[in-house]
Amino acid sequence: MGPAGAPVKQWKGPAPNCYNISFPHQRSGGDMAFKRRETVVEAVDLNTITPEDAEKRIIAGVKKYATNEPNWVKADANTPFLGHIIGMGIESSNLADITMSIERQFLTKKTRRVPVSEGSSEFRLEDGELGKLRILDGQDATAATPGLSIKMLMDHGHMPRNEAYLGKVVSFAYIAAIGDGYRMNDALRKMIAKVEKLPGTEREEAAANLRSMVEQAKNYEAVLSDAAKLAAARQKTFENDKAAYEALSKELAVVTDKLKGLSASNDSAQLSQLRSEEAEIRTRLKMSAAKLRVSQEVASAAGRRTPVEEAKVQEIRRLLSDSIQAASAPFANAV
Amino acid sequence: MTRRRVVITGLGVVSPNGVGLKAFRESLKAGRSGISWHEELKKLNFAAQIGGVPPLEEEEVLKVIPESDYHKLSEAMVYAVLAAVECARDSGVRVDLLKGYNQSPVQWDAGAFIGCGIGGMDTIFNELGPTLSEAEQAEPGRGTLPMGTNIVPKVMGSSVSVAVGKFLGLGAQVSANSSACNTGTEAIFEGFKQIQLGYAESMYVGGAEGTHYGIWAGFDAMRDVLCSRYNEAPEKGSQPLGAGACGFVPSGGAGVLRLESLDSARKRGARILCELVSAYCNSGGQRDGGSMTFPNQEGVIRCIRKVLQDSGVDPGRITLINGHLTSTTADPREVDSWIKALGLPLDCFPAIQSTKSMIGHSLGAAGALESVAVVDQIANGYVHPSINSENVHPQIQSIAASIPRQMRQLELDYVIKASFGFGDVNGCLLFKRWES
């Protein structure tokens, strides 16, 4: 009931006959606004198409959401969705769109959702009737490129594994490492351009920043040059993430024990406080687990380097070297 | 505080009777209506089945807006962006969104105030509603996911303004207003203040509105507010000042003007179209005859007089009134307000026109589209006809001679423009011819 005792109307959305009208001008005889092309996507069974065909469909679908057009003009299996990677995976809001785009295009037999173990809140998908593809929470954390999305579909049994195709897919570890290199290179190029334009004292300050960026770029270029060095750096990140995860797990265990001890008593205030503390830790733990999964994947893959990855690494190393060299001219003049 | 002078250096328009300034001007001069009949409205059993929709194909849109961005825009946002890009180009700025815009530098001294009356109704009907209707069948927490992440930017109140801010890289205040049919005029007033007070050197201002039937349905439900007697002759439906006026004709589109400080315009050698001398907005307080849907006449008169007082311009120097004049029973009352506010003998009453006679009432875009028409008339020395007023409404016979039925070439010194909106809100602008 509403505040004045009046019944509250539940909004059920527009009347059903409105749904098949996607834009007024698309209606027969109606020419009420500029016509948008109707984007009807026919979903196909993932078991009936090749990885290459699936890749084409993913690229076409994701183009709708991509904001980095120059990057997407020549998009392929190894093009990151937005040309950059943030945090533990690709930017979460875009990940949602990309995953949704993939789900709309494919059908799978893995449609029956069952708990990972009895009473668990985590689920996996098992064979059932052919139906809509469903990507479960966290499964897409490393699906940063069309190729890695296909790998995700294969890893979760939605389509047959194809090692020949996967051999051409750059791992998430190298997508992230190469992405970092491009970001560093872009920043360096922008700073070089900035230093050249600035006058007097501002120029000196910017030159100091440029000097520190050049050092960072040199160090990173050195890390990229050696797969073992890169693996060691990523392993360190993984160990830090693991330590953080374990600390949180201990925190949770302590709170859970306290809750068990208190549940017999009637101290509702303390009980409530502990429950909210537990909920908060569980949330942090879930995020930490996701981060750990990604850093584990990165640490384990960084030490191996396929020919495709090697070529990409060499390309970014070359760009970084060029930028470092270019930085020395204005840098020297400025100082 | 010193108030800086504000001039207009660019225009952009998406209108039912012409997309782009050139087409719009040609239609205004020719007295060409952009109103047509829509079968869909008949199917939905609307009483009023006519409306004004910009004649725009998707291919034309994609010549300006990158396809990947286009999907993230509602209909009103598309109109606003097209008008703003034309406006920027008209003011001498090189803009090519298809060649990439993300790398262009931020224009820290330029902002946007572009309003919208109703907003992304097309998005609400076509994307949000259907997803929600399926959501109750989905798992907890998953129900809303299929709508994707572009919904909020397409339906939020500031959608049209921030879309323009994004494409043009604007760094001063970028915001939106909404005051029903006064939205476009109010947005110009807001931008005017920003420049007058020195917060920005340049502001893209105006309004945009979509044409989804969901926007028009509420007005149709009011009966006699929309024109339902001219379904067989749509071009005759919008009759401001006419004897057969029986309700307004809904429409959509966008108008954008670039306001600029005189100093800035001179500094960059911009072509100045005219000066915005004075502007004001107020409300009638919904008292003394004023209501949610009808203006308090005293509020209207005060609004017009305030603009005249601020400018110091004698009403006798006004050569043209571009009225709100919607083709409803409120038109005679509006004319009466103009007569009282200006206080001129009737034989000295300036010309009075309604752009809505050709483009219908585009709600949140109306004041902006009409201001574009005003500035274009001043800059090019003409007065467009107020069509469908051959038979003048019996209550305004006294000013019948002031209504232009044909296009006239005329130098316009001062032109006053007003808008009035639901909620008893008023806005008035005074433009002056620019003499270099």
Give the pLDDT band of residue A17 (cuts 50, 70, 90).
very low
A218 token code pair? 């040199």
The answer to whether residue A200 is domain-embedded is yes
Backbone angles phi, psi at A71, to 5 degrees: -65, -30
- Residue B76 forms contact with A (CB below 8 Å): no
**Rounded Cα–Cα distance for residues A272 and A281 (Å):** 14
Claim to verify: residue A146 and residue A196 sit in the same structural domain: no
Claim to verify: residue A120 and residue A150 sit in the same structural domain: yes
Contact B210, B76 (CB under 8 A): yes
A13, A24, A66 ranked by CB distance to B212: nearest: A24
The burial of A271, by beta-carbon neighbours within 10 Å (0-12 exposed, 13-18 middle, 19 or more buried), is given as: middle
Q: Which chain A residues have a beta carbon less than 8 Å from that of B125?
A: 14, 18, 21
Backbone angles phi, psi at A42, to 5 degrees: -85, 115
The answer to whether residue A49 is domain-embedded is yes
B361-391 pLDDT, tens digit each: 999 999 999 999 999 999 999 999 999 999 9
The answer to whether residue A13 is domain-embedded is no
Closest to B336 measured CA to CA, from B384, B300, B383, B360 = B300
- Residue B436 forms contact with A (CB below 8 Å): no
Give B151→chain A minimum CA distance, Å: 11
Cα torsion for A237, A240, A242, A245, to the nearest 10°?
A: -130
Give pLDDT, residue A8. Answer: 41
Give the N- to C-terminal CA distance of chain A in Å, as an integer. Answer: 73
Spatial neighbors of B240 by CB under 8 A, at least 6 apart, are: B323, B325, B326, B327, B331, B354, B356, B357, B386, B388, B389
Distances (CA, A) of B35 to A135, A211, B214, B338, B359: 48, 64, 18, 27, 6
A182-197 pLDDT, tens digit each: 889 989 998 998 888 8
How many domains is chain A partitioned into structurally? 2
The answer to whether residue A16 is domain-embedded is no
Q: Which of A23, A31, A32 to probe by mutation at the B interface, max B CB count within 10 Å?
A: A32
Angle CA(B117)–CA(A34)–CA(B150) in degrees, nearest 5? 65
In this model, does residue A68 exceed pLDDT 70? Answer: no
Q: Which chain B residues have a beta carbon less than 8 Å from that of A13?
A: 129-130, 132-133
Claim to verify: residue A233 and residue A145 sit in the same structural domain: no
Contact B185, B417 (CB under 8 A): yes
Q: Which residue range(s) make up the domain with A289?
A: 174-334
Q: Which chain A residues have a beta carbon less than 8 Å from that of B122?
A: 23-24, 33
Q: Where are the beta strands (DSSP E) in B262-330?
A: 274-283, 318-322
Claim to verify: residue A182 and residue A290 sit in the same structural domain: yes
A12, A23, A27 ranked by CB distance to B122: nearest: A23
The answer to whether residue A15 is domain-embedded is no
Give pLDDT, residue A98. Answer: 82
Claim to verify: residue A53 and residue A151 sit in the same structural domain: yes
Q: What is the DSSP letter of A78?
A: T
Contact across the interface for B38 and A72, Cβ inside 8 Å: no
Backbone angles phi, psi at B132, to 5 degrees: -65, -35
Contact A285, A245 (CB under 8 A): yes
Q: Where are the beta strands (DSSP E) in B225-332?
A: 253-261, 274-283, 318-322
**Rounded Cα–Cα distance for residues B361 and B359 (Å):** 7
B41 token code pair? 């409205």
Claim to verify: residue A119 and residue A193 sit in the same structural domain: no
More confident residue, A331 or A103: A103
B277-301 pLDDT, tens digit each: 999 999 999 999 899 999 999 999 9
Q: How many CB pairs under 8 A join A and B?
A: 101
Contact B257, B371 (CB under 8 A): yes
Q: Which chain A residues have a beta carbon less than 8 Å from that of B212?
A: 24, 32-33
Claim to verify: residue A52 and residue A195 sit in the same structural domain: no
Closest to A30 measured CA to CA, from B48, B36, B335 = B36
Claim to verify: residue A270 and residue A299 sit in the same structural domain: yes
Give pLDDT, residue A320. Answer: 95
> For B6-267, which CATH class?
alpha beta
Claim to verify: residue A230 and residue A309 sit in the same structural domain: yes
The answer to whether residue A24 is domain-embedded is no
Q: What is the pLDDT along chain B (436 residues), one digit of tens a residue?
A: 678 999 999 999 999 999 999 999 999 999 999 999 999 999 999 999 999 999 999 999 999 998 888 988 999 999 999 999 999 999 999 999 998 888 789 999 999 999 999 989 999 998 898 888 888 888 777 888 888 888 899 999 999 999 999 999 999 999 999 999 999 999 999 999 999 999 999 999 999 999 999 999 999 999 789 999 999 999 999 999 999 999 999 999 999 999 999 999 999 999 999 999 999 999 999 999 899 999 999 999 999 999 999 999 999 999 999 999 999 989 999 999 999 999 999 999 999 999 999 999 999 999 999 999 999 999 999 999 999 999 999 999 999 999 999 999 999 999 999 999 999 999 999 999 998 7
Give the percent of chain A with pLDDT over 70. 80
Q: Which residues of B74-96 are buried (b: 16+ CB within 10 A; e: fewer)?
A: bbbbbbbbbbbbbbbebbebebe
Q: What is the DSSP letter of B142?
A: T
Size (chain A), residues: 335
**Rounded Cα–Cα distance for residues B365 and B116 (Å):** 7
Contact across the interface for B53 and A29, Cβ inside 8 Å: no
**Rounded Cα–Cα distance for residues B396 and B339 (Å):** 11
Size (chain B), residues: 436
- pTM for this prediction: 0.85
A239-255 pLDDT, tens digit each: 999 999 999 999 999 99
Summary mean pLDDT of chain A: 81
Instruction: List, in sequence order, the alpha helices (H) in B320-417.
Output: 331-342, 356-359, 366-380
**Rounded Cα–Cα distance for residues B147 and B165 (Å):** 25
Claim to verify: residue A328 and residue A184 sit in the same structural domain: yes
In chain B, where the domains are located: 6-267, 278-433
> For B278-433, which CATH class?
alpha beta
Range of weakest confidence among A111-120, A172-181, A318-327:
A111-120
Claim to verify: residue A146 and residue A219 sit in the same structural domain: no
In this model, does residue A22 exceed pLDDT 70? Answer: no
Give the N- to C-terminal CA distance of chain B in Å, as an integer. Answer: 26
Give pLDDT, residue A9. Answer: 40
Q: Which chain B residues have a beta carbon less than 8 Å from that of A31?
A: 36, 38, 53
Claim to verify: residue A116 and residue A181 sit in the same structural domain: no
The answer to whether residue A30 is domain-embedded is no
B278-433 has the same fold as B6-267: yes
**Rounded Cα–Cα distance for residues A116 and A107 (Å):** 22
In this model, does residue A335 exceed pLDDT 60? Answer: no
Range of weakest confidence among A91-95, A211-215, A310-314, B379-383:
A91-95
Give the pLDDT band of residue A93 (cuts 50, 70, 90).
low
Closest to A66 measured CA to CA, from B176, B366, B30, B72 = B72
